[in-house]
């Protein structure tokens, strides 16, 4: 079972004999906020984490890596142009999906098929889905039809019907009475797993 970053902060603070109030003052945040962080009820910002790590003598990336859902967060090494070439400058930073997409509010689904390829969603990609029971017109959703298999499609409500549209000109949209559709989530991000 993975530990929350707050547990690691509390353990390091207590091991050094620093009070909650004292550490919060040194970091520049309110002690109640630090208490919430330690109890897993709030998140710590990057700047506060860097100050805290300096005070406690802990590598912030190591702390996030140990507490996160990955053994090591991904490293973003810099920028690359998709248009006009730019200087390749290495500027290492870590990237942990859990810092962007809260695992309590999101889940992953592996995409099967090519119905959403014109939206850049390819077969075998991992769709990052935000838990939701409702959706706005135009959003890409995970929907159940008659409680059956889940499908990833663009959502549109038209009167008492729901239209589920593919992003592939070779496929047709499907219209159902709204009572037959259950929204399970809304697309929030995508992890490309294969080069197309």
Active site residue 115: yes
Instruction: Using alpha carbons, list the distances in angstroms from residue 78 to 86, 90, 101.
Output: 11, 5, 21
- Determine the length of the chain: 196
The catalytically annotated residue of 19, 153, 160, 165 is: 153
Tokens of 185: 């989530």
Which residue shows structure tokens 């109890």? 39
Instruction: Using alpha carbons, list the distances in angstroms from residue 6 to 1, 13, 32, 34.
Output: 15, 10, 13, 9
Report DSSP state, residue 88.
-
The catalytically annotated residue of 115, 133, 160, 165 is: 115
Active site residue 160: no
Active site residues: 115, 153
């Amino acid at each position: 079972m993975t530990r929350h970053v707050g547990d690691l902060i509390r353990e390091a603070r207590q091991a050094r004999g620093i009070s909650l109030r004292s550490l919060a003052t040194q970091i520049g945040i309110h002690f109640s906020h630090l208490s919430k962080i330690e109890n897993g009820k709030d998140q710590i910002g990057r700047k506060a984490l860097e100050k805290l790590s300096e005070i406690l003598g802990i590598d912030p990336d190591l702390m996030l890596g140990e507490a996160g859902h990955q053994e090591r967060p991904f490293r973003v090494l810099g920028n690359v142009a998709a248009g006009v070439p730019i200087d390749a400058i290495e500027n290492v930073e870590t990237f942990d999906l859990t810092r962007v997409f809260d695992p309590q509010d999101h889940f992953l689904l592996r995409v099967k098929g090519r119905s959403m390829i014109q939206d850049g969603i390819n077969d075998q990609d991992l769709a990052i889905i935000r838990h939701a029971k409702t959706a706005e017109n135009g959003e890409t959703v995970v929907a159940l039809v008659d409680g059956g298999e889940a499908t990833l499609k663009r959502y549109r409500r038209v009167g008492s019907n729901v239209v589920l549209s593919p992003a592939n000109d070779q496929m047709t949209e499907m219209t159902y009475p709204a009572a037959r559709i259950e929204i399970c989530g809304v697309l929030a991000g995508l992890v490309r797993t294969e080069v197309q």
